[in-house]
Amino acid sequence: MRAFVVNQYKGPLQLADVPEPVVGDHDVLVEVQAAGLNMLDEKIRAGEFKQILPYKLPQILGNDVAGTVIGVGAKVQGFAFGDEVYARPDKDRIGTFAERIAVAEADLALKPASVSLEEAASLPLVALTAWQALVERGNLQPGQRVLIHAGAGGVGTIAIQLAKHLGATVATTVSTGNVDFVRELGADFVIDYRSQDFEQLLDGYDLVLDSIGGKNLEKSLRVLRPGGKAIGIAGPPDSAFARELGANPVLRLVMTALSSGIRRQARRLGVKYEFLFMRASGDQLRQITALVDSGVLRPVVGRVVDFDQTIQAVQSLGKGGIRGKAVISRTSQTHLIMHEPGNRRTS
């Protein structure tokens, strides 16, 4: 089958013929019809995560999938031939930029019936990230206040909607052109980062979801109330993540050292910092499916490109300029779509 692979870190993404997926007893074979694009794909290609995600090269890239079940393992009970499904495969089994992929049954869910395959493919990684940050780690409660950075991005567009559903007051940071857009998604307070400093405007927040890192994360600590929490998805990784990863003692020390500065700042301020690297979960995707089909969450797809344009699409990831997610499709011609609130495309 055809797939897009990276043969060496920092090397180019290439289209290649690769072996068919191996389908285990608990695996589901999926015909890939759409695959979401994430900055994680480019970071893996560039080798930025090779210490914590040591893939054996060549590696097929791709972390989001939507498609049709074309085979099941001997012990699979929850899926059948012809089901339309979506998933974020486990971090050790990525590879959605391909014609087919085998996904563990536990990581898979039926796609929301109310959205297209392309819209479904945009959701798994970012929706699971938002869920695990706000629900699992943040325990966000009605009446609490949350700051979500990069509100017009993939994680941000879903996190804003989820936080509003949870009853929180939502602040977000965006560029000038996206101010009205995120307000329509549900943001209560919108900071234009080009002309405003969120640290000067916000105070006493319960939770921050930071997807930028660096100085932005440091400033985020200072808008929290005592006991508040900042959850970073851009790093630096912390010792708790090293334990979850099962890292060796040397790598644990490295991760602890990398986050020592931000953790020290958090302690001085009486707040907490946690690093989140989202995990695959079919159970959580089923809860997300229910929210999508009930109209609580709406996928935001800014661009759809043809499968054969995957290399160019990955190269353009760092340029930004779209709202929500870009998606690779094997079911339609290359086209550009802008999803505004209220302009929902369904299957």
pLDDT at 335 over 50: no
| Biggest distance spanned by C-alpha atoms of the chain | 58
Specify the pLDDT at position 338. 34
- Judged by DSSP in three states, 57 sits in coil
R_g of the chain computed on alpha carbons: 20
- Judged by DSSP in three states, 296 sits in coil
Specify the pLDDT at position 250. 79
Closest to 56 in 3D by CA, of 66, 44, 67: 44
Average pLDDT, stretch 324-346? Answer: 56
What is the token pair recorded at 23? 């389908």
User: 119, 299 in Cβ contact below 8 A?
Assistant: yes
- Judged by DSSP in three states, 253 sits in helix
Closest to 296 in 3D by CA, of 99, 134, 158: 158
pLDDT digits (tens, 9 = 90+) for 276-290: 999 999 999 999 999
Rounded to an integer, what distance in angstroms lies between the CA atom of residue 148 and that of residue 246?
29
Specify the pLDDT at position 332. 55
Residues 6+ apart with CB under 8 A from 115: 292, 299, 345, 346, 347
Q: Mind giving me the DSSP string for 137-204? A: IS---TT-EEEESSTTBHHHHHHHHHHHHTT-EEEEEE-GGGHHHHHHHT-SEEEETTT--HHHH--S
Rounded to an integer, what distance in angstroms lies between the CA atom of residue 174 and that of residue 180?
10
Rounded to an integer, what distance in angstroms lies between the CA atom of residue 225 and that of residue 206?
6
pLDDT digits (tens, 9 = 90+) for 9-53: 999 999 999 999 999 999 999 999 999 999 999 999 999 888 778
Specify the pLDDT at position 313. 95
**CA distances in angstroms from 135 to 23, 157, 191, listed in the order given:** 33, 16, 24
Q: Does the model's pTM come out above 0.85?
A: yes
Strands ordered across the beta sheet of 59-60: 13-17, 2-6, 59-60
Closest to 319 in 3D by CA, of 25, 55, 13, 42: 42
Q: What are phi and psi of 150, to 5 degrees?
A: 55, 55
pLDDT digits (tens, 9 = 90+) for 170-227: 999 999 999 999 999 999 999 999 999 999 999 999 999 999 999 999 999 999 999 9
pLDDT at 246 over 80: no
